[in-house]
Amino acid sequence: MQGLRAKFRLAAVVALTLWIALLGLYSLLKPISNGCVMTYMYPTYIPISAAGDAAAASGKYGLYLYHEGWKKIDFDEHLKQLSGVPVLFIPGNGGSFKQVRSVAAESDRAYQGGPPESTFHHEAGLTSEEGRADTHLAGFELPTQYKNRLDWFAVDLEGEHSAMDGQILEEHTEYVVYAIHRILDQYKHSHDVREKEGAAASSSLPKSVILVGHSMGGFVARAAMIHPRLRKAAVETILTLSTPHQSPPVALQPSLGHYFEHVNREWRKGYEVQSTHAASYVTDLSNVIVVSISGGYNDYQVRTKLETLDGIVPPTHGFFISSTSMRNVWLSMEHQAILWCNQLVVQVSQTLLNLVDTKTGVPFPERQKRLSVFARMLRSGIPDAFQWTSQPDSNVHGGQVARLPGCPNNLIWKDDGLERDLYIETITVTVLAMDGRRRWLDIHKLGSNGKSHFVFVTNLAPCSGARLHLWPEKGKSNSDSPSDKRVIEITSKLVQIPSGPAPVQMEPGSQTEQAPPSSVLRLTPEDMQGFRFLTISIAPRPIVSGRPPPGASMAVGQFFDAKDGERVLSAPALLLSAYSSKDVLLEEDHPIALNLSFDINLGLLPTSLSLKATGCGIQRSGLPDEEVGDMDNSKLCKLRCFPPVALAWDSTSGLHVFPNAYSETVTVDSSPALLSSSPGSGKTSVLLLVDPHCSYELTFAASLTAAAGKFLLLYSSQIVGSFFAVIFFALMQQVRAWDLDLPIPSVLTAMESNLKMPLPFAPLGFSPLLLSLFVCVLNSQPLPPLVSFIAVSIICYVLANGVGAILVWVSQFLFYAAALTHVFIKSRSVLYVSCQHCVKDDVYHNCD
């Protein structure tokens, strides 16, 4: 009976392992729709001849200069005119130098087209930890035109697999150092040739090279910085794409892990030079910045946790950002797609061009200016607007909103643009057209009874389409730009959010669906303190300042109680939702912003959110019942209510945006339940922006398929490590039986004993875990990190036993099949030999 129980436990473990493995493989192998647009180009690669260090120049590697254009060019003449800003691209594991073509082509187009038009949205800048108050940033603005182009170089590393061996990484580092020197020497040579020929003097000679590395190429860029032969100040800016900085994704060779430790240790010492009296041979990195961009949860090869710069680069010298948080990108992408995803390479190109000082034509020498450019061009203002970051709002001083930059004077509406004012008496204000009116909202009246928060969403462009002001008292001016200095314009507090697909018409000539919002503004009681009125001014319908209005206009604002919109989804409820979905009914006039707190990190347990419209005030519209009954309620509500938007925040990977979130599987790229996990990584916050005019049925359901795939991705190394421990435990029991002269158990029998727990140790092992879970359920608190770590470790150990049992059974089956095949072949050969003897002796009657 005891042996039967052990076999049953092992069979259950194997069944669980197979179930998780099949679900995980299905999730990981199904096609990914990342939403990226392909980048197209006309590439030409100009080889740069070897010179200088013969040892580095000779061999298998090469250096190329990229040129965009379909016309044939003279290579020597093109090199002679070299005068831009040098940027060196370093490919990753098995990569090609030709992967530079997407970002290089978009850089050329961006330089030709100039900077993008300002949208007047709130821009995220540096935090206080990163040096927001630095004196170099006083009055600093992004350039309004590009002074110099980017010259993209790329190293040909022969497609070697640098992620497999540390020795290959060291060889790549050696050549990259040589390539940096060769590029700077080429600029000097080209400049001298032009001077000899009497050509006009060009811009200043570059003194440094910007490094852009993909995957392991980004680590090679950092390794080159600590190389003893690298010239001083030859590199001051490094941008990495999907690069593991903390450790290699898979350390197949000890040399790989040792090289990572060596480089990271030297980087820590390099940043200590500016504050301590370090040895003279330590590289000074005080003026070097590093920005790491991650591909997000769709990058299966390098996880976000490995791409962070924590403990390597101080906040004053760099930061990490996920592509899901990047302005104008908002997408997660695969490991290779990050090189050609047009939304990302365009934003990267514009960012690098903004690094160039318009006065000198070379990148800003001040470290904080360069870091500020990256922050303002890449970061979104959403986390600051909803206070997800630990940094205080820089726009609030002394409990009152500070004076923000107003709309530019060249965006002036017509004198008769603002018609008679509207006075809003309800907590919800709606704009369905560009009517040229100003709406007055009494903060004291509408913001009473706890409804002290205000959220405004719109698809109208800030300044040219909508403007917002805070007034201490009722104004008399009809102008859209009040002259009273006590009136504060808060239009620049609007933050950009990605809008979904354009609205469609149900039938030709019919009303279009409500347009998705593209901006959101949030005002807290502290922001509105000391003010009596809030005004929302909408531009008139005709073309404003040469810009055509959107095809369908929308704006919705609401005063609400933040506590009414809070929902906490406990760990047991989320786990049970995998088998029985959880429904939440949102009545009409619900809060426009719903704050959902998930006690289990959605990087570990992705959850499907579904919003189904159940009503939108049709019964109060005056339509006949028979006409209302013929309409599809969900389609009808789409004509009145804007599409919902989901904003997910994770402490590790940052912001994730899901527009048109009628049905989405919300997930983040995080690594919870590890001892090294950051505080707060055990939970995820999701903000839903939902139109208050419609009622919805909100459904939650944990996605077991996505959860299985995430578990295998996050904890595969832990499962492999536990598997080797299980095998060693089985071998240890066999050795012990040998020493005691007892029957040696099989591997399966030994593994069955691994699943047993001696009764005296059972309370000691499970009581603290059960007690913690019970307390968390009673108090509606997230799981403690230690409890999550223990739970995940147990699951990994159980799966390791299942993997071991499956391998044993498969090997037994293979050995048995091989034995049967051997016996069959042997018997047939013996029969064949005996028949040959019968034929030879003419004895046929004994042969079959």
Compute the distance between CA of residue 469 and CA of residue 477 in angstroms, rounded to an integer: 13
More confident: 88 or 812: 88
Task: Please choose, from the candidates 128, 109, 10, 1, the residue with its C-alpha nearest in 3D space to the C-alpha of residue 746.
Answer: 10
Which pLDDT band holds residue 770 (cuts at 50, 70, 90)?
low
Compute the distance between CA of residue 744 and CA of residue 735 in angstroms, rounded to an integer: 8
Q: Over pLDDT 90: what percentage of the chain?
A: 38
More confident: 403 or 809: 809
Mention every residue, 6+ apart, whose C-beta is less than 8 A from residue 283.
225, 226, 230, 266, 269, 270, 273
Q: Which amino acid is at 691?
A: D
Q: Which of 57-61, 82-86, 136-140, 498-502 shows the lowest mean pLDDT across its residues?
A: 136-140
Position 830 scores a pLDDT of: 76
Q: Over pLDDT 70: what percentage of the chain?
A: 81
Position 278 scores a pLDDT of: 46
Which pLDDT band holds residue 55 (cuts at 50, 70, 90)?
very low
pLDDT at 168 over 90: yes
Position 733 scores a pLDDT of: 85
Position 652 scores a pLDDT of: 82
DSSP 430-476: EE-S-B--EEEEEHHHHT-TT--EEEEEESSPBTTTEEEEEESS---
Compute the distance between CA of residue 460 and CA of residue 540 in angstroms, rounded to an integer: 12
pLDDT at 119 over 70: yes
Q: Which two tokens stand for residue 66?
A: 């990229």
Say what the pTM is.
0.87
pLDDT at 778 over 80: no
Q: Which amino acid is at 820?
A: L
- pLDDT per residue over 510-553, tens digit each? 567 788 899 999 999 999 998 999 999 988 875 545 555 566 78
Distance of CA 430 to the CA centre of its chain: 33
pLDDT at 101 over 80: yes
Q: Which of 79-83, 111-115, 763-767 shows the lowest mean pLDDT across its residues?
A: 763-767
Which pLDDT band holds residue 178 (cuts at 50, 70, 90)?
very high
How many CA atoms, within 13 angstroms, populate the side-chain half-sphere of residue 531?
A: 31
- pLDDT per residue over 547-578, tens digit each? 555 667 889 999 999 898 898 888 888 888 88
Q: How far is CA 3 from CA 10, 432, 638, 733, in A?
A: 11, 73, 62, 17
More confident: 71 or 223: 223
Which pLDDT band holds residue 67 (cuts at 50, 70, 90)?
very high
How many CA atoms, within 13 angstroms, populate the side-chain half-sphere of residue 431?
A: 32
Average pLDDT over residues 633-659: 85
Average pLDDT over residues 614-625: 60
Paired strand residues for 520? 457, 495
More confident: 98 or 394: 98
Work out the end-to-end distance of the chain between its first and last CA atoms, rounded to an integer number of angstroms.
50
Position 841 scores a pLDDT of: 61
Compute the distance between CA of residue 654 and CA of residue 649 in angstroms, rounded to an integer: 6
pLDDT at 186 over 90: yes
More confident: 477 or 637: 637
- Torsion of the alpha carbons at 163, 168, 174 and 175, rounded to the nearest 10: -80
Q: Which of 35-49, 579-593, 737-751 shows the lowest mean pLDDT across its residues?
A: 737-751
Position 309 scores a pLDDT of: 93
Compute the distance between CA of residue 245 and CA of residue 201 in angstroms, rounded to an integer: 41
pLDDT at 415 over 90: no
- pLDDT per residue over 250-280, tens digit each? 877 888 989 999 999 999 988 875 555 444 4
Position 10 scores a pLDDT of: 83
Nearest 5°: CA angle at 583, between 577 and 584?
A: 130
Compute the distance between CA of residue 548 and CA of residue 465 in angstroms, rounded to an integer: 10
Task: Please choose, from the candidates 206, 207, 41, 184, the residue with its C-alpha nearest in 3D space to the C-alpha of residue 108.
Answer: 41
Q: Which of 4-8, 293-297, 825-829 shows the lowest mean pLDDT across its residues?
A: 4-8
Question: Contact at 8 Å (CB) between 618 and 636?
Answer: yes
Nearest 5°: CA angle at 214, between 208 and 220?
A: 60
Could you say which DSSP state residue 226 is in?
Answer: T
Could you say which DSSP state residue 759 is in?
Answer: G
Position 290 scores a pLDDT of: 96
Q: At what angle do helices 2-29 and 747-754 cross, to 10 degrees?
A: 90
Q: What is the mean pLDDT of the chain?
A: 83
More confident: 317 or 829: 317
Which pLDDT band holds residue 505 (cuts at 50, 70, 90)?
low
The DSSP H or E segment spanning 500 is none
DSSP 599-617: SS-TTTS-EEEEEEEEESS
In degrees and rounded to multiples of 5, residue 731 shows phi and psi of: -65, -35
Q: How far is CA 216 from CA 7, 173, 240, in A?
A: 46, 11, 9
Question: Contact at 8 Å (CB) between 443 and 474?
Answer: no
Compute the distance between CA of residue 311 and CA of residue 324 in angstroms, rounded to an integer: 23
Task: Please choose, from the candidates 530, 525, 537, the residue with its C-alpha nearest in 3D space to the C-alpha of residue 447.
Answer: 525
